[in-house]
């Protein structure tokens, strides 16, 4: 594995993926207390507080790390879609979901019975997943590819080429003679 082979995008995605994993498990993302501030407050990390989103964030982090590892390898795998596009897509999806959770924090279905606060982890997580998205996008730019190119490649499209022309018409039926 040769780290000097890594592009800027691969480095950004790899470091951001590692940071996202750490932030997901170490830092509290949300805190919960009884309505009105009565009683103790409890915090929870991303894994504890977000059900579906935790899996998207985990996949984004692992994709960023994988992009860096694959970039440092001597041989590149032949995949139907570039790993940089997968990384960028998962990162963008992660950013969207974390923003939604910042706007509307999870309350566990308790509504007005609890006060949910946003802790530093959710903001650090947003920065880290944005780093994964940016690293994947930058790696795509460095490869000279785009999401449209990857969609054509995955769908089996010819990259925008025109279909072949139809065959020329044959002779008319009946031999072509008239009486």
Q: What is the pLDDT of residues 122-171, one digit of tens each?
A: 999 999 999 999 999 999 898 888 777 777 766 665 444 545 566 666 66
Over residues 89-97, mean pLDDT: 96
- Does CATH number 1.20.140 belong to domain 3-155? yes
Nearest to 86 by CA among 70, 103, 101: 70
Residue with tokens 């960028």: 88
Three-state SS at 33:
strand
Sequence-separated (6 or more) residues with CB below 8 Å from residue 75? none
Angle at 30 between CA 27 and CA 36, to 5 degrees: 140
Which pLDDT does position 87 carry in this prediction? 94
Over residues 24-36, mean pLDDT: 82
The residues spanned by each domain of the chain are 3-155
Q: Is the pTM of this model over 0.85?
A: no
Q: Which pairing describes strands 41-44 and 114-118: parallel, antiparallel, or unpaired?
A: unpaired
């Amino acid at each position: 594995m040769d780290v000097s082979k890594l592009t800027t995008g691969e480095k950004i995605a790899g470091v951001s993926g590692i940071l996202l994993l750490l932030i997901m498990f170490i830092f509290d993302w949300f805190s919960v207390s009884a309505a009105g501030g009565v009683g103790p407050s409890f915090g929870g990390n991303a894994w504890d507080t977000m059900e579906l989103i935790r899996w998207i964030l985990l996949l984004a982090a692992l994709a960023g790390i994988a992009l860096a590892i694959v970039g440092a390898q001597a041989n590149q795998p032949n995949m139907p879609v570039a790993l940089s596009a997968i990384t960028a897509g998962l990162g963008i999806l992660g950013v969207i979901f974390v923003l939604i959770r910042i706007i509307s924090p999870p309350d566990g279905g308790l509504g007005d019975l609890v006060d949910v606060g946003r802790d530093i982890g959710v903001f650090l997580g947003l920065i880290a997943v944005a780093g994964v998205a940016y690293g994947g996008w930058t790696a795509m730019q460095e490869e000279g590819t785009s999401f449209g190119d990857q969609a054509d490649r995955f769908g089996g499209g010819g990259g925008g080429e025109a279909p072949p022309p139809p065959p020329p018409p044959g002779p008319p039926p009946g031999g072509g003679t008239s009486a």
